[in-house]
Chain A
Amino acid sequence: MEDRNIIELYWARDERAIAESQNKYGGLCTHIALRFLGVREDAEECLNDALQAAWNAIPPERPEKLGAWLSRVTRNLAVSRYRRDHAARRGTETDVMLSELEDCIPSGESVEGAAEAAELSRTIDAWLRTLDKTDRVAFLRRYYAGESLTEVAEVAGQTPAAMAKRMFRLRAGLRTFLEKEGVAL
């Protein structure tokens, strides 16, 4: 079913909207949530919460791209659930990924102070568009979908070591870009 038809179901308050969303995007959303949470039950709960959120938000919202919208909600739910559940435990895959992101934090504080979240998103979006598709997808598989370095490496047909180097360069590149744009966190 086309996205716009599913959205119509939401607007018509037809519960098939949820089943259709799950049918079309459940796999993707669970994939992402599972990478952050590591436990299937938790990932599936996250998907359910995301579907509930969609039911509550549409209408009035009318997402242009339902898949991207749902995956974003799922990811946010997964991250906050991860934060809640892992407050006392360290050393998980997601922790490692988060610690890698420190490489991207620009040094020094800009005069304007910390950037707004939306501005930061726009800058990262702009930087991503400067990359070639392979790098962009690899970066997002790692830091958006939360896949492990090994998974990303396998998909790209590289060794994990080579992928680690590439990721390191990409993170350094993002930091340089953020500094150049005068964005501070």
Chain B
Amino acid sequence: MSEKNEKLMGAISGIGDDLVEEMAEDIAAVKKAAETESSHEGAGRIIKADLTRTNDAPQKKRRTPLRRRIAALAAAAAVLLGAVLLPGVFQKGGVLPGQTDGPKGAEKGVVTVLAEAAYPELEVHNFESLDLYQEAVAAFMQRAIPEIAKAGDEGQNLAFSPLNIYMALSMLSETVGGDTQKEILDLLGAKNMELQRRMAAAAWKNNYFNGDHGKLLLANSMWLREGFPFKKAAIETLAREHFASSFSGQPGTAEFDKALQDWINKQTDNMVKDSVDTLKMDPATIMALVSTIRFSGIWSDEFMDKFNTEDTFHAKAGDVTATFMHQTHADTVFYGEKYSAASKDFNSGYIMDFILPDEGVDPAELLSDPDVLKFLTESWAERYERTQQKRALVNLSVPKFDISSDLHLEKALQSLGITSAFSADKGDFSPLTDEGGIFLSSVQHGARILIDEKGCEAAAYTAMMVCGAAMPPTDIIDFTLDRPFVFAVRGGDGVPVFVGIVETPAK
């Protein structure tokens, strides 16, 4: 804000009361009209329905204002499942501790809810100024993102949630001891378990929100073999420090699988249902740890669907037609050696980065490029200190997309140094149980993300350009995402919540 602008802004505040009243009456009248109008079925035109709740609102449940119903949405959900197995005994056909009646009898298993996590009254966007946390999480993300990205199929769309994986690994670290724990904590960037708990709490607090303008919901749970000799302390710590709900039943039964699937689908609003409904616990499972994330955001400036165009997207496998959304905005474009990047704000303070590889550069290559990884994890202050940036009127063209991924992360985690947890000989699960031969058998991650439009601000700025209003940025940059690109949704504290590659927006 320039000094003179600021002074003008201030001076406008000082005008006569009667003029302010006149304006306030006009606002109130329009609001009232909009409310009346939106209670009828709209004739398709955008009604100016205000999102502001007046405090003298009638107590009956109001209709969702029209603007709300058509609001642009970016939504995503992910799930991570880690299963801990007792393979030796099972393979010999023996009976597992707690498996009293053999697999057949176990099919009649009953699912018991041991404890439903009570999520604490969390402050919205309580940016805990824990430098250590930001540094550690950024370091984890920079290491983990390239390896996780490799778990995707080459040339296919990719979506995953680094934050979700972070939370799941944090839970896992509670169940292990010795070197097995050290490997996980090294990756998460925590010196000891106590510090890791604080960092997980900070990640939770800084990101969890549930409001009118969107939500980011996190949830954890553990699925325990009934009758298995777990150590009570570990289960209690998971519940207390990681807000994990606990359920008990017989793995390998349809009932227990269904309960698990239902829980995940509930936490993720059925967004990843196709993937979740194939999840099954092996009969030898003693415990499954599950972490979910659900994000929903509304663009602070929505795209206007009447400006949408059907255009060509140059996918690697050949050109496809996609629906492009367009918007012109005074904004900053950043340049790296192999890419250019623009961002779009959600009105919750979250943002979405769009990273367009230069011609001839593979988007997958970008996800292991140190500069891109820094770009995805640095603070806003750092970002605006970048030298390669240009402020301009940006003609942003982005295809609508709805993509999902199912990833197996065992190899990725092993490349990241988590090896002994995967070994029945070396794995130290002593905090969880005194039984031996336990190891981490699989880590599955499913994610889906979609974006769409509906906004009305774009026209205004395009129009201002046409009529020659003097805006400071005079350069015009066309930022057209018409070839495979990288995206990231980033939280208020800068943590990448979702990352991925759009290879093709076509279904």
Name A residues whose Cβ lies closer than 8 Å to a Cβ of B: 22-24, 26-28, 30-31, 34, 38-41, 43, 64-65, 67-69, 71-72, 75-76, 79, 83, 88-93, 95-96, 98-105, 114, 117-118, 120-122, 124-125, 128-129, 133, 136-137, 140-141, 143-145, 148-151, 153-155, 159-161, 163-165, 167-168, 171, 185
B5-50 residues at the A interface, CB under 8 angstroms = 5-24, 26-28, 30-31, 46, 48, 50
The A/B interface has a contact count, at CB < 8 Å, of 216
A150 nearest in chain B by CB position:
B456
Contact B31 A96 (CB under 8 A): no
B467's contact among A90, A148, A151, A164, by CB below 8 Å, is which? A164
Bound Cα distance A144, B23 (Å): 9
- Smallest Cβ distance from B178 to chain A, in angstroms? 43
14 CB < 8 A contacts A-B: A26-B54, A79-B10, A90-B330, A91-B330, A104-B8, A120-B7, A144-B13, A149-B464, A150-B457, A154-B48, A159-B459, A163-B460, A164-B469, A185-B7
Confirm or deny: B384 has a beta carbon within 8 angstroms of a beta carbon on chain A.
yes
| Given contacts A34-B51, A64-B17, A144-B12, A136 and B461 within 8 Å (CB-CB) | no
A38 B330 Cβ-Cβ under 8 A: no
B351's nearest neighbour on chain A, judged by CB, is A89
The chain A residue sitting closest to B384, CB to CB, is A88
A-B pairs with lowest CB-CB distance, top 6: A121-B14, A27-B54, A161-B463, A149-B460, A68-B17, A120-B11
Residues of chain A contacted by B383 (CB below 8 angstroms): 88
Asked whether A102 lies within 8 Å of B9 as measured between CB atoms, the reply is no
Q: How far is the CB of B442 from chain A (nearest CB, A)?
A: 40
Closest-CB distance, A88 to chain B (whole angstroms): 5
Q: How far apart are the CA atoms of A96 and B330 in the complex, in Å?
A: 7
CA distance A147 to B70 in the complex (A): 19
Contact B11 A117 (CB under 8 A): yes
Known: A41-B125, A117-B14, A164-B464. A31 touches B381 (CB 8 A): no
CB of A81, distance to nearest CB on chain B (Å): 12
A91 touches B469 (CB 8 A): no
Report the minimal beta-carbon distance from B387 to chain A, rounded to whole angstroms: 16
Minimum CB distance partner of B209 in chain A: A41
Interface string of B439-481 (1 = CB under 8 A from A): 0000000000000000011011111101111111000000000
Secondary structure type dominating chain A contacts: helix
Residue B301 interfacial (CB < 8 Å): yes
Please measure, in the bound complex, the distance between the C-alpha atom of A176 and the C-alpha atom of B347, giving whole angstroms.
Answer: 36
Chain B neighbourhood of A136, CB < 8 A: 19, 22-23
* A164 partner, pick from B6, B124, B384, B460, beta carbons under 8 A: B460
A183 to B415, alpha carbons, bound, how many Å?
68
Contact call B469/A100, Cβ cutoff below 8 A: yes
Known: A88-B381, A91-B331, A100-B471. A145 touches B27 (CB 8 A): yes
What residues of chain B lie closer than 8 Å to A75, measured between beta carbons? 13
A40 touches B14 (CB 8 A): no
The reply to whether the CB of B52 lies closer than 8 angstroms to some CB of chain A is: yes
Across the interface, name the chain A residue whose C-beta is closest to B4: A185
Task: Verify if B212 is at the interface (C-beta below 8 Å from A).
Answer: yes
Contact of B4 among A67, A105, A150 (CB under 8 A): A105
B2 at the interface (CB under 8 A from A): yes
Q: What's the minimum C-beta distance from A111 to chain B, rounded to whole angstroms?
A: 18
Cross-chain contact of A98 among B1, B20, B331, B391 (Cβ < 8 A):
B1
Residue of A nearest to B344 (CB): A91
- Which residues of chain B come closer than 8 Å to A140, judged between CB atoms? 12, 15, 19-20, 22-23
Assess whether B55 is in contact with A160, with CB atoms less than 8 Å apart. Answer: no
Q: How far apart sit A144 and B125, CA to CA, in the bound complex (Å)?
A: 28
- Closest Cβ of chain A to B153, distance in Å, is 35
Interface centre among B8, B21, B48, B345 (most CB of A within 10 A): B8
- Pick from B17, B457, B460 the residue with the most CB of A within 10 Å: B460
The one of A23, A83, A92, A96 that contacts B461, using a Cβ cutoff of 8 Å? A96
Interface residues of B in 308-333 (CB under 8 A from A): 329-332
- Knowing A121-B14, A161-B467 are in contact, say whether A141-B26 is a contact too (CB < 8 A): yes
| A125-B1 contact given A22-B55, A161-B466, CB 8 Å threshold | no
In the complex, what's the smallest C-beta–C-beta distance from B341 to chain A, in angstroms?
Answer: 13
Minimum CB distance partner of B10 in chain A:
A117
| A residues near B360, Cβ cutoff 8 Å | none
| B93 CB-CB contact with A under 8 Å | no
Decide: A144 and B20 in contact? CB cutoff 8 A: yes
CB of B348 closer than 8 Å to a CB of A:
yes
Interchain CB contact under 8 A, B469 and A125: no
Contact: A31 with B27, CB < 8 Å?
A: yes
User: Knowing A34-B52, A125-B15, A150-B460 touch, does A39 contact B348 (C-beta < 8 A)?
Assistant: yes
A67 touches B24 (CB 8 A): yes
* Pairwise interchain contact A83-B20, C-beta atoms closer than 8 A: no
